[in-house]
């Protein structure tokens, strides 16, 4: 099994969805995974530059990923290219507010990625070398959690950070199925203040994030109620109608609902979808 997932310790589950490893040597052939927007960020450490590539959209070619790359929010699907080479990958799926532990350059990362040596964080560069040299996945997890613990002390008394965590939690509890004015009213914030918080901590506007979370929740719901037709699925998940539901699917996956759910999936692509489903 080339892909394995690991759950973070309770302290860091606030910030990390999961850790994962990929042993590219176990791949019989190179594969391509479709990865959809899910409201998270990513950080990947790779032993060799020829192991993994990522596109900027499903219509562009893959770009090779270097030893350590950080990934911003996606508003459309991308392709990952996994190559059958003698290399291993260690990565994190970072929850919305968790990215503040790793970089302040959040907004500029939307729909793209950057090598961590382009960021102004010497601590992250130091942990990159240690993680690539570590022999076991548990050593790698320990190193990244030590790094996060040090950064967490800086954010502990940041009221805006805590407010953003509460807003994200509120959105997830309602599966993104609420209007923006309901969000501002609940937290007593005006539009501009709310938008500034989202752009600073998530790199997305509030409306973009609400759409992504509602879409993610609808995927899980659709798989649970597989016997429903598209119109029923659309109404139950807060979409205007079937046409609106299909339009959102095409926006976020580049596929129709039928194409998406009938798609043959690799192990890693299937696990990625399971991570989304497990949230609801």
Name the architecture of domain 159-278.
Answer: Orthogonal Bundle (1.10)
Beta strand spans in the chain (E): 3-6, 16-23, 31-35, 41-46, 52-54, 63-64, 68-71, 78-82, 88-94, 113-115
Establish whether domains 3-155 and 159-278 are of one fold: no
pLDDT at 223 over 90: no
pLDDT at 262 over 90: no
**Where are the domains positioned within the chain?**
3-155, 159-278
Residue range 52-58: mean pLDDT, rounded: 95
Please give the model's pTM, rounded to 2 decimal places.
Answer: 0.92
State residue 167's pLDDT score.
Answer: 97
102-116, 193-207, 227-241, 251-265: range with lowest mean pLDDT: 227-241
Judge whether 172 and 183 are in contact, CB under 8 Å.
Answer: no
Could you say which of 3.10.450, 2.60.40, 2.60.120, 3.30.70 is the CATH number of the domain covering 3-155? 2.60.120
Which pLDDT tens digit goes with each residue over 165-195?
999 999 999 999 999 999 999 999 999 999 9
């Amino acid at each position: 099994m080339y892909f394995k997932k690991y759950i973070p310790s309770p302290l860091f589950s606030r910030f990390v969805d999961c850790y994962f490893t990929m042993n590219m040597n176990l791949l019989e052939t190179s594969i391509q995974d479709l990865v959809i927007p899910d409201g998270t960020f990513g950080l990947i450490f790779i032993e060799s530059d020829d192991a993994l590539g990522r596109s900027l959209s499903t219509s562009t070619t893959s770009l090779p990923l270097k030893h350590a790359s950080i990934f911003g929010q996606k508003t459309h699907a991308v392709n990952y290219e996994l190559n059958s080479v003698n290399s291993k990958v260690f990565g994190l799926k970072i929850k919305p507010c968790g990215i503040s532990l790793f970089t302040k350059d959040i907004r500029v990362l939307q729909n793209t990625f950057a090598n961590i040596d382009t960021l102004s964080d010497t601590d992250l560069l130091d942990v990159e070398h240690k993680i690539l040299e570590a022999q076991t996945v548990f050593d790698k997890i320990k190193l990244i959690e030590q790094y996060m613990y040090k950064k967490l002390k800086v954010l502990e008394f940041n009221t805006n950070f805590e407010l953003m965590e509460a807003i994200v939690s509120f959105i997830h509890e309602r599966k993104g199925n609420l209007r923006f004015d309901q969000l501002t009213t609940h937290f007593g914030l005006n539009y501009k203040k709310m938008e500034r918080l989202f752009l600073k901590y998530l790199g997305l506007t509030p409306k973009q994030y609400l759409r992504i979370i509602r879409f993610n929740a609808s995927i899980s719901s659709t798989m649970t109620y597989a016997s429903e037709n598209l119109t029923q699925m659309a109404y139950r998940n807060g979409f205007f109608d079937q046409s609106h539901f299909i339009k959102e699917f095409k926006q976020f996956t580049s596929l129709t609902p039928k194409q998406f759910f009938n798609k043959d999936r690799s192990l890693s692509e299937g696990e990625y979808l399971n991570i989304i489903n497990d949230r609801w």
